[in-house]
Amino acid sequence: MRDMTQYIGPRLGGVANKLLDDSVSARLGIRMATPFTLVLCALIGLAAVVAVYRLLFGIGAASNLNDFWPWGLWIGFDVLGGVAMAAGAFLIAGAVHILNWKKYRCIVRASILNAFFGYLLAAISITLDVGRSFVIWHPLVMWQINSVMFIVALHLVLYLSTLATESSPMVFEKLGWQRTLDFVNRFMVGAVIFGVALSLLHQSSLGANYLIVPGKLSPLWYNKLLPYNFLVSAIMLGLAIVSFETLLTGKVFRHRVPREVVEGLARGMMFVGAFYLVMKVWHLVTGPGIGAALDGSFLGNLYLIEMTVGVIMPLAMLSFRSVRTNLERIFAVDILVILGVLLNRMNVGIFGVSEYATRAGGDYFPSLMEIVLTVGMIAFAILGFKVCAKYLPLFPEEGHH
Amino acid sequence: MTITRRNFLKGVAGGGLLLATGVPPARARVSTELPPQAVGLLYDATLCIGCKSCMVNCKVHNSVPGGALYKKGMKSPPYESKGLQGSDGIWDAPRELSGKTLNIIKAYRNGTAEKKDTAINGYAFFKQQCLHCISPACVSVCPAGAFRKDPENGSVYYLADRCIGCRYCQLACPFGVPRYEWDSAWPEVRKCQLCRHRYAEGKYSACAEFCPTGATIFGKVTDLREEAKRRLMLKPGTLYDFPVQTVTSRERTRREIAAYVDGVYGLNEVGGTQNLMLSGVSFELLGFSRNIPRFDLPSLTWAYIAKILWILGGVFVGGTAIHAVTHRKEKGA
């Protein structure tokens, strides 16, 4: 490793040296110089070019959005999906710091970091999606409390700061700044409670955004309980993401998977999933009727795929004890839940308004630039997570806690 | 002095509650009452001859300082002449409402299109523009307060300086009215603002002023509602003196009352709008969705927002209490 004090002076160089010391993760055997890293960097580079183009020439030039379809891939996938994928953090942090479930302490840092990247993805994408990116801070000073979007903006900023606070002990620990570390740890419980409150509100408020469009969003998704549909499905997805990531890091890093943790998450997914299924069936029966989902229409089929992949199949699998205790099978369930709930967000955010938009004369398929940016953002999250895993004490050493 | 965890948690819980209750209650909800001096337009499709004088003059009179289409340094109104063969950019020929067009006359035609204001084998004109809701969804959803409803005359207007361009207004508007300047790098949302910049000069909406037949008239909403209901009550074929330009105008044009269908559009839609419409062909056939709720849309999101402070407070108190219980064994540690 290079000695950074040669380049940027003893003070900054010393800090840089400490940060770049990867001995904390030596046992994980993370290699950065791989073709995969190169691919990720290339994708991020392309996305950066798109971002600059978008800022210079406007949202109309970069996207296929139009007056009838004002929100597309960046809202439907990056924002709605990215935020939903971040739900694991408040659950695990709450379980460890508030409920004192010590079992999950070993994954609390990874799930918070994961959420941090999920929110970062949402924040960057919404910044590029709004037409006047440079004044995106307006809602923070121009309060308009009737607007769910204002609530969403406030939560996004507050929770991103909370996640950064919750992640900061990793950095201070690495740097050996004991006093700062003690200081942050002193209000960690408060930060976690704040994070739980913000997450409950933020996850549901993304659904609440759509409460005002009863005439536009298909009745397959529109209902008065939409905020709570979003919250419950985000909890299910959050557990699946944490479980997925724990198993995945176990596969790609030399890192022992804490079996009892993953099994606990699977049980949680089963309970939340069952509740979600009841909610969704209740809505279908009391709202548009089962026929609306089975009529073979485009939206009906999307609804069926979403429910089958994301809820019914995972629940059917998890009902077997042999699945709940088999890490490979839990991994498969995780993937199904992730795909299903992400499809739900795209259904609400993009496809659900298609009947209205088409009648009005609109058509939408994401432009190449929209797709490139979204893919680049995902690459950014993966690479960022990997870098953090290499240079920060992300996974506590076994038997430490 | 050291801060014990216990004291700290007390502080957090207290601070959270203070923060929660300290938020200014503000003039929270969007009103559902018609403003005292509310003005609007009455468009009677049976009087419209499709001359598009309203469209031409809307563009001209809104491209001046204060107008809804005005932009600093603009040399001419934003005409849409592209894609029209042989026009050499001379004619303005918008096909839809857009960032450049606030008001549009469209034609309905069916079969042989012989008889005016008839659904089958007939034709009709209709007008699309902002209806100026009594409880506007766009005002309620804007996160930066860029949409406002004038507390006196009720016109719904836009403040570009506040707008961040999230386009929630476009999603929320049940009539699909707000349009975006997709071709701009620093876009604005555009929609009819009822020519509110002309009131100070004693003038009123340009589309009404320049309508030759009285199809579009301007006036107080209460008067317009009365006028519309009067026309509906009269038997088709009765001779009636239709006011021109404004509802109280002395200038009248004598015509037969047409056979109206569907009642007055805008009386109950989304809790009422300040612009009203009458037609001889059902509004559904003219492209106005039947799927419009009969109550104020902002109440839907407000039901959720009103719960937020309770949830915030509840989680703080509950979380602190649970933490105290689950960590009681570790107190001395």
Tell me the domain boundaries of chain B.
Answer: 39-302
Residues of A in contact with B5 (CB under 8 A): 186, 189
Quick check: A67 and B3 CB within 8 A? no
Say how far apart CA B127 and CA B247 lie, in whole Å: 18
pLDDT for position B10: 55
Residues of B in contact with A209 (CB under 8 A): 168
The H or E element spanning position B321 is helix B308-326
Residue (of B290, B271, B307, B289) closest to B137 by Cα position:
B271
Quick check: B315 and A196 CB within 8 A? yes
Quick check: B182 and A143 CB within 8 A? no
Q: Quick one: tokens of A24?
A: 């904390």
A400 within domain boundaries? no
Residues 302-341 of A with CB under 8 A from B: none
Say how far apart CA A206 and CA B132 lie, in whole Å: 27
Q: Are strands B261-265 and B252-256 parallel, antiparallel or unpaired?
A: unpaired
Say how far apart CA A167 and CA B295 lie, in whole Å: 46
With CA atoms as reference, the chain B residue closest to A204 would be B304
A106 within domain boundaries? yes
Is B306 part of the contact surface with chain A (CB cutoff 8 Å)?
A: no
Residues of A in contact with B163 (CB under 8 A): 131-132, 135, 138
> Within 10 A of A163 (CB to CB), how many other CB atoms are there?
27
Task: Please give the C-alpha separations between residue B37 and each of A175, B40, B266, in angstroms, as whole numbers.
Answer: 66, 10, 18
ipTM of the complex: 0.92
With CA atoms as reference, the chain A residue closest to B186 would be A132
- Per the CB < 8 A criterion, the answer to whether B240 and B247 are in contact is no
A80 within domain boundaries? yes
With CA atoms as reference, the chain A residue closest to B9 would be A190
CATH of the domain at A143: 1.20.1630.10
A386 within domain boundaries? no
Smallest CA–CA distance, residue B260 to chain A, in Å, is 25
DSSP B77-146: -----TT-TT-TT-S---SS-BTTBS-EEEEEE-TT--EET-SSSEEEEEEES---BSS-HHHHH-TT--
Spans of chain A below 50 pLDDT? 399-401
A3 within domain boundaries? no
Q: Quick one: tokens of B18?
A: 């203070």
The total number of structural domains in chain A stands at: 1
pLDDT for position A395: 82
Residues 93-132 of B with CB under 8 A from A: 96-98
Task: Please give the C-alpha separations between residue A238 and each of A111, A263, B140, B248, in angstroms, as whole numbers.
Answer: 9, 15, 31, 62
CA atoms within 13 A on the CB side of B179: 22
With CA atoms as reference, the chain A residue closest to B188 would be A131
A125 within domain boundaries? yes
Spans of chain B below 70 pLDDT? 1-28, 83-89, 331-333
Domain that holds residue A356: 50-378
Say how far apart CA A164 and CA A160 lie, in whole Å: 6
Q: Quick one: tokens of B161?
A: 């300086």
- Which of helix, strand or coil describes residue B185? coil
Cβ neighbours for B300, distance < 8 A, ≥ 6 positions apart: A211, A212, A214, A224
With CA atoms as reference, the chain A residue closest to B97 would be A67
pLDDT for position A398: 54
Smallest CA–CA distance, residue A146 to chain B, in Å, is 5
Quick check: A205 and B315 CB within 8 A? no
- Per the CB < 8 A criterion, the answer to whether A331 and A325 are in contact is no
Residues 155-214 of B with CB under 8 A from A: 162-168, 170-172, 174, 176, 179-187
Smallest CA–CA distance, residue B190 to chain A, in Å, is 11
Q: Which amino acid is at A243?
A: S
Q: Which amino acid is at B31?
A: S
> Within 10 A of B102 (CB to CB), how many other CB atoms are there?
28
Quick check: A187 and B141 CB within 8 A? no
- What's the maximum distance between 2 C-alpha atoms anywhere in chain A? 71
Q: Quick one: tokens of A28?
A: 């994980």
Say how far apart CA B299 and CA B122 lie, in whole Å: 40
Smallest CA–CA distance, residue A104 to chain B, in Å, is 15
pLDDT for position B88: 67
Quick check: A212 and B303 CB within 8 A? no
Quick check: A201 and B176 CB within 8 A? no
B300 vs A67, A129, A211: nearest CB: A211
pLDDT for position A21: 83
Residues 161-190 of A with CB under 8 A from B: 186-187, 189-190
Quick check: B28 and A130 CB within 8 A? no
Residue (of A249, A234, A274, A194) closest to A386 by Cα position:
A249
Is A251 part of the contact surface with chain B (CB cutoff 8 Å)?
A: no
- Per the CB < 8 A criterion, the answer to whether B279 and B268 are in contact is no
Smallest CA–CA distance, residue B232 to chain A, in Å, is 28
Which of B159, B177, B182, B302 is the best residue to mutate to test the A interface, defined by the most A CB atoms within 10 Å of its own CB? Answer: B182
Residues 339-358 of A with CB under 8 A from B: 353, 356
Burial class of A27 by CB neighbour count within 10 A (0 to 12, 13 to 18, 19+): middle
A193 vs B142, B170, B320: nearest CB: B320
With CA atoms as reference, the chain A residue closest to B141 would be A147
Q: Give the architecture (CATH level 2) of B39-302.
A: 2-Layer Sandwich (3.30)
Residues of B in contact with A360 (CB under 8 A): 176
Quick check: A193 and B308 CB within 8 A? no
Residue (of A59, A72, A50) closest to A364 by Cα position:
A72
Residues 226-245 of A with CB under 8 A from B: 227
pLDDT for position A28: 82
pLDDT for position B56: 94
A394 within domain boundaries? no
A179 within domain boundaries? yes
Quick check: A148 and B171 CB within 8 A? no
